[in-house]
């Protein structure tokens, strides 16, 4: 976990290459651990895959980022099927990240599909725990609005953005 955290901090400080090195080390470690004890380490492996996807995307390696996030999603789908309360939020976050990667690659319809799936999960999570998940729901609505704009559906994008604003009057990073 420390290498994942180190990677995130290095990225926050703009040290993307160092962040990538740290997350590669974490990924290597968790791959080995998950091979031995998948039940204990697949969640850590999925988190590391998600984080390396973010680092690769930051460095402009969108295809590699997409490959990593797809692998993370495979793990999170399995984990969420077994324990939805524990992993649906991670699954939704990874779907949102995949939507970003797909959009960066110009694959707008696929990006739209991914964010719609993430949004469905965030709606369920926010219905159960609004104080915890309304901000995520608002951000995913914001992302959906951008994806709709990407495919020329401006009116629908505006309606979605209005819903996002109604949840959280001011959306940070939107």
pLDDT of residue 166: 86
Domains of the chain: 1-70 (1.25.40), 83-174 (1.25.40.10)
Q: Supply the pLDDT for residue 7.
A: 94
Three-state SS at 105: coil
Report the distance separating Cα 78 and Cα 25, nearest Å: 24
Q: Check if the beta carbon of residue 6 is closer than 8 Å to that of residue 38.
A: no
* DSSP per position, 41-53: HHHHHHHHHHHHH
| Alpha carbons 148 and 94: distance in angstroms, whole number | 19
| pTM tops 0.95, yes or no | no
Q: Print pLDDT tens along the chain (174 aa).
A: 689 899 999 999 999 999 999 999 999 999 999 999 999 999 999 999 999 999 999 999 999 999 999 999 999 999 999 999 999 999 999 999 999 999 999 999 999 999 999 999 999 999 999 999 999 999 999 999 999 999 999 999 999 999 998 886 556 667
What does the block give as tokens for 32? 């080995």
- Tell me, what's the pLDDT at 172? 63
Q: What distances in angstroms separate CA 78 from CA 54, 75, 140, one per listed residue? A: 21, 5, 22
Side-chain half-sphere CA neighbours of 145 within 13 A: 18
For 106, phi then psi, to 5°, come to 80, 15
Contact 96, 69 (CB under 8 A): no
Task: Please give the structure tokens belonging to residue 93.
Answer: 């976050």
């Amino acid at each position: 976990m420390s290498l994942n955290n180190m990677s995130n901090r290095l990225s926050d400080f703009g040290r993307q290459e160092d962040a990538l090195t740290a997350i590669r080390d974490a990924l290597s470690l968790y791959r080995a651990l998950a091979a031995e004890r998948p039940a204990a380490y697949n969640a850590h492996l999925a988190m590391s895959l998600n984080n390396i996807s973010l680092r690769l995307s930051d460095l402009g390696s969108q295809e590699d980022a997409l490959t990593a996030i797809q692998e993370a999603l495979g793990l999170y789908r399995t984990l969420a099927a077994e324990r939805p309360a524990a992993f649906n939020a991670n699954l939704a976050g990874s779907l949102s990240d995949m939507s970003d990667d797909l959009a960066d690659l110009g694959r707008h319809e696929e990006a739209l599909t991914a964010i719609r799936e993430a949004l469905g999960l965030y709606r369920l999570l926010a219905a159960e725990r609004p104080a915890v998940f309304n901000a995520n729901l608002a951000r995913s609505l914001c992302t959906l609005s951008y994806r709709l704009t990407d495919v020329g559906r401006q009116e629908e994008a505006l309606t979605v953005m209005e819903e996002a604003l109604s949840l959280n009057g001011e959306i940070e990073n939107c």
